[in-house]
Amino acid sequence: MACRERRSCGDGAKGKRLYDWGMWQVTVKDQPPAAGFVHTLLIRRSLSDPDDIEFFLAHAPIRTPTPELIAIAGLRWTIEEDNERGCRRSSAST
């Protein structure tokens, strides 16, 4: 399965975070997927800077919809922002 499309991976401070996405099922050496699952490589390219490319490897149920995989990949942004805020708070209190 291969898929390429432009989608938002969630809302950011300036609105929707739109990117070009590619999605391909892949084989991970020495790591077969669990029964009923597949490994999927998501590739995200920035619209404003085409050289800004990120890669995500998903282990998801077979036939997980593309928008769902993209939304989950977008959660990484939120987690990283939360971690950064936590680090700043931690260093400010020491």
From first to last of its 94 residues, what are the pLDDT tens digits of the chain? 456 788 777 666 666 778 899 999 999 999 999 999 999 999 999 888 989 999 999 999 999 998 899 888 877 655 455 555 566 555 555 5
Into how many domains does the chain fold? 1
Q: What is the DSSP string of 6-60?
A: EEEEEEETTEEEEEEEEEEEE--TT-PPPTTEEEEEEEEEESS-TT-EEEEEEEE
Both tokens of 17, joined, read 């975070």
Both tokens of 26, joined, read 């892949």
Q: Note down the domain range covering 44.
A: 2-92
pTM of this structure: 0.69
